[in-house]
Structures are given as C-alpha cells and as structure tokens.
C-alpha cells in the first residue's frame, strides 16, 4: 500500500484534506544535483541507464517531497524503439536525421515489442519503486501519437510544425498509418510500464494546440482515445493537451481519470467546460515561478481556491523551466502542503 495516496485519491475524485502536488518536468534541468549528472552523461545515456534515470526521478522528491514522482525519460524513446534514429543535440534539442515524409518511409517503420525494446525503462521503474519504498505513487508517461508524429515528420522542434501538418493534409493515408503504428506502440509501452509498477500514466499532447478543433479530432484525439480505452481498468490515465481547451468537453467523457490544463484556460472555464465531473490538473504558468516566493505562495493558494480542493491536482501548466530558482520551486510545493481550505 502507498503511504501517501493523496494523488491516487484525487484521481479517483475522492474528497481530500488538501490537493496533491507534483510538477511536470520536476525531475531534471532546474536542480543542481541533476546538473552534476548532466556534466558526466549525455541525454539518452541518462534515459537509457536505469540507475541514472531512477536517481534523477527521486532527486526532487528528496528535496521537496512532492506527492507523486514522474519517471525521468523522454517521449522520443518511442520512435527510437520503432527504428527511427533520434538524436538530442546540445543547445538545439531533438533531431531526426531521416524524417518520415512518404508512404515508403511509413512502411519501413515497425511496431516493436515495447517491453523488450524499451526494457531499460522497465528496469528504471523497478529501481525507482525500490527507492520510493511505497511512500508516494510513480507516474509513467508517453507523448501523444500526434506529438510524436510532429517530431518524426518535422525532424526537429518547431513553432509551427508546418511539415508535419503538410504531411497529414497531403498524404492522409500515410499519416493515419503512421499515427496508428505510434498508437499501437504507445499502448504496448504503457501497459508494460504498468506491469513494471507505475501507479498512473500521463499522455502529453504537447503540440495538440497546433491543430484546429476539427483537425484535432482527426489527427490527435481519436488516437488518444484508443490509448485511454486500452488502459481502462489497468491504471488511471491523465491527458494533458497543451492549448487544447477547445476539446476539454469531449475529453471529460473519455474515461480519462484527469485532464491537464494549461495557464491560458482559467480554473472557472476548465470546470465549466468539463461539467465539474472530472479531476483537473494544472495550471500555474511556469514563468510565474520567477516571481518572489511569497507571491508564488499567494497565487498557488488562490489557484487552489479557484479550482477547489477536491478533484484537483496542483501542477504547472507546462514543464518547469531550467532557470527557476530552487527556493521558488520549494515555495510552490510548500504552498500546497500548507493549504487550508476556507470551507474545510
């Protein structure tokens, strides 16, 4: 049994004394202890070495005591497992030397046995579970099929993902085949993670907001829905679609346990759009962690009041930035732990 089960209870919609807190990208780049590891090992070595990945996962828990840990990894381990070369270039980001641009390219991509191809992730989960010793839950994650396709086709990060959209709109048959291959791999991967011991999973649709509401349904949401359906009863699924407030109503009846919200959607609107029936997660602007600690605490308290303490997980509206002072991250977590509901 997990000793601190606030996070799991919030995902189930149970009443809690205070909401749980964790931060997207909490394991990593803003922590001095992470920087020490980064000096010695490159990005994918850190992902592919279970001892390093598990150590990085628990670093923020030791320092701040969040209510959930999220496994240190990357969404692009999926295309790597599918036979697509992915590099992580310093001061540049992800780079795919041979992007997917044609039906022939799609035909060459294979659906692997995720447990075998990504065994290092499963080993990292087992090591992390030992270190956590059932104190708090562990979250596993994957990118949404659309977000993975964006990188595979574009070949690198982008502000518009114009090549990815062009591929979908000019070669829709090839695009849907690619999306289905990614979906099948992702389902297999997340199921393997659950077997290895994660207590919940999150699907990151980082680039869903690049699509119009109509295109979002066709090229992103229907594949996320497949993932939710496949994991039903196995573990709670959180869906975070950045910039996807327009889909919150449909997401709320999908069977997902919780929905992530970014900072462009107010708590009131998020509750309204989802009918108040589902756990929400978010939505503090990561840049706001540059505010003074006292101000951060006030804003976090107000955010909890606005969402309500139940059916709510305190988080950022996207990943924590590398330049956030460690005392400011502490103020964010402490504000939640110190929270006293005005009605409780």
pLDDT tens-digit profile of 109-141?
A: 999 999 999 999 999 999 999 999 999 999 999
Q: What is the mean pLDDT of each run of 10 residues along the chain (344 residues)?
A: 97 97 97 97 97 98 98 98 96 96 98 98 98 98 98 97 98 98 98 98 98 98 98 97 98 98 98 97 98 98 98 98 98 97 58
List the Cα angle 16/21/22 in 5-degree steps: 145
Over the stretch 210-231, which tens digit does the pLDDT of each residue have?
999 999 999 999 999 999 999 9
For residue 344, tell me if it sits in a domain: no
User: What CATH number did the domain enclosing 43 receive?
Assistant: 3.20.20.210
28: left (phi over 0), alpha (psi -120 to 50) or beta: left
Active site residue 25: yes
Active site residue 101: no
For residue 55, tell me if it sits in a domain: yes
Q: Which of 25, 105, 120, 285 is catalytic?
A: 25
- Output the six-digit token pair for 310: 């139940």
Buried b or exposed e, range 254-266, using 16+ CB within 10 angstroms? bebbbbbbbbebe
For residue 180, tell me if it sits in a domain: yes
For residue 1, tell me if it sits in a domain: no
For residue 34, tell me if it sits in a domain: yes
Task: Detail the residues annotated as belonging to a binding site for substrate.
Answer: 25-29, 44, 74, 151, 206, 318
Active site residue 63: no
For residue 36, tell me if it sits in a domain: yes
For residue 343, tell me if it sits in a domain: no
- Output the six-digit token pair for 3: 């000793």
Active site residue 74: yes
Domain total in the chain: 1
**The whole model's pTM is what?**
0.97
Domain of residue 321, residue span? 6-337
Q: Which residue is associated with the tokens 């109509």?
A: 214
Q: Which of 30, 151, 189, 339 is catalytic?
A: 151
Handedness of CA 12, 15, 16, 18 (dihedral sign): positive
Q: Say which residues have a Cβ less than 8 Å from residue 36's Cβ, sequence separation at least 6.
A: none
For residue 342, tell me if it sits in a domain: no
């Amino acid at each position: 049994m997990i000793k601190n089960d606030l996070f799991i209870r919030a995902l189930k919609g149970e009443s809690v004394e205070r909401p749980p807190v964790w931060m997207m990208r909490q394991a990593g780049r803003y922590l001095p202890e992470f920087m020490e590891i980064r000096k010695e090992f490159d990005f994918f070595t850190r992902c592919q070495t279970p001892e390093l990945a598990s150590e990085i996962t628990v670093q923020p828990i030791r320092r701040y005591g969040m209510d959930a840990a999220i496994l240190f990894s990357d969404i692009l381990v999926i295309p790597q497992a599918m036979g697509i070369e992915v590099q992580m270039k310093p001061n540049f980001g992800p780079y795919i030397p041979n992007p997917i641009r044609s039906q022939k390219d799609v035909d060459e991509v294979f659906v692997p046995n995720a447990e075998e191809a990504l065994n290092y992730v499963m080993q990292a989960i087992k090591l992390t579970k030992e270190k956590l010793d059932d104190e708090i839950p562990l979250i596993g994650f994957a990118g949404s099929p659309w977000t993975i396709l964006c990188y595979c086709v574009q070949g690198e990060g982008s502000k518009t993902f114009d090549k990815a959209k062009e591929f979908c709109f000019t070669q829709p048959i090839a695009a849907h085949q690619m999306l289905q291959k990614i979906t099948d791999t992702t389902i297999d991967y997340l199921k393997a993670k659950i077997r290895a011991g994660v207590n919940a999973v999150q699907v990151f649709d980082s680039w869903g907001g690049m699509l119009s509401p109509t295109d979002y349904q066709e090229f992103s949401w229907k594949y996320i829905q497949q993932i939710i359906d496949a994991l039903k009863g196995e573990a709670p699924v959180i869906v975070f679609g950045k910039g996807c407030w327009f889909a919150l109503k449909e997401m709320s009846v999908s069977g997902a346990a919780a929905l992530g919200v970014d900072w462009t959607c107010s708590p009131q609107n998020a509750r309204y759009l989802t009918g108040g029936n589902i756990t929400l997660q978010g939505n503090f602007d990561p840049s706001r962690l540059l505010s003074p600690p006292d101000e951060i605490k006030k804003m976090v308290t107000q955010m909890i009041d606005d969402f309500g303490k139940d059916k709510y997980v305190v988080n950022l509206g996207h990943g924590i930035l590398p330049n956030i002072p460690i005392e400011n991250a502490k103020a964010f977590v402490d504000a939640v732990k110190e929270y006293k509901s005005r009605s409780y």
